[in-house]
Chain A
């Protein structure tokens, strides 16, 4: 049997990679891609905890399904906003969209 800690380490590594992508990428689509990585790492954590600590009650799987649902909704809306920004600015770099910055 694979120890629970190894699933947690995998998810922590995926989460850290997602954080790096979130902060280091300039293209807004790639920022959204990094958010998908983050959400996926969280879903692994949820399923691992539910399977190991609370076997029989599969609440973790249900929560992971909701995470996937919300991730899909977020990605669709986010990409629509990115398209809108591209039409206005002809650019999808997040540091060039700074109208609200002071």
Chain B
């Protein structure tokens, strides 16, 4: 095995363990911090797909902004001493997760994706991404910016205290 392969499997295992931690630990703050770790690790996984710009974006957005957002939300909602119990029906959730994984994993392994030939992987350079985003993808890009603006305003209005509210 080459160094890249070893690094990928170590990274993937670490991401899966911390993702399990996200859904299992009792302390909500640990859960949020583990989510940041998981998303940063999967950001590093993008490096193995030759998408270095995306890796950077992922770590920047999730490590930098989503973490702050989540920790603020947890602080403001004060769940009972920050410790939570699982739902009473958690075995059903586990069964659903196992079924979903079985179907997806079977399809992933059983399908002959590449048809025998090995692809030549190419790097997704930031320049190429920029040209695509502002060329053929310009309309979705503008719509996404509108979505962000509307979400921002909506969040502001929803979270604002209205008059007469303590």
Chain A residues with CB under 8 Å of chain B are 1-2, 4-27, 29-30, 33-34, 36-37, 40, 44, 47-48, 51-53, 55-56, 58-62, 64-66, 68-70, 72-77, 79-84, 86-87, 92, 95
Chain A CB within 8 A of B124 CB: yes
Residues of chain B lying within 8 A (CB to CB) of residue A18? 19, 23
Q: Could you say which residues of chain B place their CB within 8 Å of the CB of A83?
A: 73, 76-77, 158-159
- CB pair A53–B114 under 8 Å, yes or no, is yes
Enumerate chain A residues within 8 angstroms of B137, measured Cβ to Cβ.
Answer: 62
Nearest Cβ distance between residue B57 and chain A, in whole angstroms? Answer: 6
Chain B, Cβ-Cβ closest to A8: B108
B interface vs A, CB < 8 Å? 4-5, 8-9, 12, 15-16, 19-20, 22-23, 28, 31-32, 35, 38-39, 42, 45-46, 48-51, 53-54, 57-58, 61-62, 65-66, 69-70, 73-74, 76-77, 79, 84-87, 89-90, 92-94, 96-98, 100-101, 104-105, 108-109, 113-114, 118-122, 124, 128-129, 132-133, 137, 140, 144, 147-148, 150-152, 154-156, 158-159, 161, 165
Main secondary structure of the interface of B (DSSP, over half): helix
- Which chain B residues lie closer than 8 Å to A62 at the CB level? 129, 132-133, 137
Say whether B54 contacts A61, CB under 8 Å: yes
Of A13, A52, A75, which one neighbours B69 at CB under 8 angstroms?
Answer: A75
CB distance from B159 to the nearest CB of A (A): 4
